[in-house]
Amino acid sequence: MYDVKSPKAEEFIDDEEIRETLAYAAQNKSNRALIESIIDKAALCKGLTHREAAVLLECDIPDLVERTFKLAEEIKQRFYGNRIVMFAPLYLSNYCVNGCIYCPYHAKNRHIPRRKLTQEEIRNEVTALQDMGHKRLAIELGEHPVQNPIEYVIESINTIYGIHHKNGDIRRVNVNIAATSIENYRKLKDAGIGTYILFQETYDKKRYEILHPSGPKSDYAYHTEAMDRARAGGIDDMGIGVLFGLTGYRYDFVGLMMHAEHMEAALGVGPHTISVPRIRPADDINPEEFADAVPDEKFLHIVAVIRCAVPYTGMIISTRESKKVREKVLDLGVSQISGASRTSVGGYTEEERDEETAQFDLADKRTLDEVVAWLMELGYIPSFCTACYRAGRTGERFMKICKSGKIQDCCTPNAILTLKEYLLDYAAPATKALGDKLIAKEIDKIDNPALKEAVLEDLSRLEAGERDLRF
């Protein structure tokens, strides 16, 4: 029985409710009056229910699909402006006891080399990332109680925060580790993590059990209820996502929306981010074996409807996607992207390992400087901002500011200041010239004279050698 507030996975992600929602969406896919009313509601930027979002995604009336895309662009602009936050994944270990059949790290893959970074190796990787200009990382590990216990994760986080190479800093460590206990979540919180990220992979329980035949992750309920435990452990910035292509996208889309509704209703805080990965080729994995792979056009539609349905939530896309697709989704709602990623353990310092231990093949292999320049050419401000959680703007407090649309008063100045740091410390000359022009243009756009003055003052302080200034 569907109950948005229930602590039980099978009640807040109720299979029957999803199937009824899909039937309702199919019946109404050409219902112009209903779809128009949903678009009008979305334009108020207060969000949509999972049923409304499902209808919008199923809509087959071309001009209304077009309106949905347009609205997504407007909402994106209204909540996030033109800043795009940059991050990089850091793979610490690919030891894993789970059997996820879509991931090359699954325990039965005997030909992938297994690797776990020592603290010294982490120092080297982080130094390499700092030398590119990164300030925000997402650490990734397989699940392995012996090789990757929580103590190793905490020690690694402390190591990462402790490295200050030249002007470099990692100021926010987001963590993507397997579902764990309340006690372990508390330890992560105490270690000062940014967002706790866990992808559901698929919300379809039957499919989930086929895809996860062994290991602790095979427990659907334990995995699906992870955010509830994370919240009980004191974490209030949580990121969700599915791996599109594991099952029919419609089912997972509705599950994702229901999970967001559950978090807001039962945990008091909606998802801080939603990630939208699609299945990619990798060692031992052929995406063609996954019949539900999502075509580009539908993928863009999914991103647009998520933007309309949960306007306050950051949306993340990785280097799994090509430059072409990344360009389109930036307009439609994505607010965070990775740049110059290595998806292998030790990939930032050891070129030869790059492909060998990769979790998935990259579609976008450009350097960070190339990505930064590309974003600026498209009119975006690449941002290395990490200000919110350091200023205590997390959880409900963050959501309140974000829902009011006021977060932009922080995002834009912080994007300008962190871009300036990047230009001063890491950019190639052509990127620097492009960036300085963009900053001048962005400062012109600030209406509030006091804010403009404060940003100009901080820019001078950065020029004079200070770092890490923020609003």
Joined tokens for residue 159? 């190591």
Which one, 104 or 255, has the nearer CB to ligand SF4?
104
d(CA 40, CA 282): 42
Q: Which is nearer to ligand SF4, 6 or 336 (CB)?
A: 336
Residue 9 vs 411, nearer CB to ligand SF4? 411
Report the residue number, 103 or 294, with the smaller CB distance to ligand SF4: 103
Which one, 95 or 426, has the nearer CB to ligand SF4? 95
If the CB atoms of residues 143 and 225 are measured against ligand SF4, the closer one turns out to be 143
Q: Is the distance from CB of 380 to CB of 329 less than 8 angstroms?
A: no
The smaller minimum CB distance to ligand SF4, of residues 129 and 385, is found at: 385
Distant-in-sequence, close-in-space partners of 228: CB < 8 Å, separation ≥ 6: 7, 266, 267
Footprint on this chain of ligand SF4 (rule: CB under 6 A): 85, 96, 98, 100, 103, 105-106, 142-143, 178, 217, 383, 385-388, 407, 410-411, 414
Looking at the DSSP assignment, which residues form a beta bridge with residue 83?
Answer: 381
Q: Which is nearer to ligand SF4, 56 or 462 (CB)?
A: 462
Rg of the chain's alpha carbons, rounded to an integer? 21
For residues 340-370, one letter each, b for 16 or more C-beta atoms within 10 angstroms of the residue's C-beta and e for the rest, the string is bbbbbbbbbbbeebbeebbbbbbbbeeebbb
Minimum distance, C-beta of residue 88 to ligand SF4, in the bound complex (Å): 16
Residue 403 beta carbon to ligand SF4: minimum distance, rounded to whole angstroms? 12
Give the shortest CB-178-to-ligand SF4 separation in angstroms: 6
CB of 390 to ligand SF4, least distance (A): 8
What is the smallest separation between the CB atom of 121 and ligand SF4, expressed in angstroms?
19
Q: Which residues of 148-181 are buried (b: 16+ CB within 10 A; e: fewer)?
A: bebebbbebbebbbebeeeebbbbbbbbbbbbbe
The C-alpha atoms of residue 433 and residue 435 are separated, in whole angstroms, by: 5
Phi (first) and psi of residue 386, to 5 degrees: -140, 25
Please, what is the minimum distance in Å from the beta carbon of residue 177 to ligand SF4? 9
Q: At what angle do helices 296-309 and 249-262 cross, to 10 degrees?
A: 20
Shortest spacing between CB 410 and ligand SF4, in angstroms = 4
Residue whose token pair is 């410390």: 425
Residue 317 burial by Cβ neighbours in a 10 Å radius (0-12, 13-18, 19+)? buried
Count Cβ atoms below 10 Å from residue 118 Cβ, excluding itself: 10
Length of the chain: 471
Task: Write down the least CB distance from residue 19 to ligand SF4, Å.
Answer: 27
The angle subtended at Cα 43 by Cα 307 and Cα 24, nearest 5°, is: 70
Q: Is 51 or 134 the residue whose CB approaches ligand SF4 more closely?
A: 134
Min CB(117)–ligand SF4 separation in Å: 15
Q: How many CA atoms lie within 13 A of 2 on its CB side?
A: 16
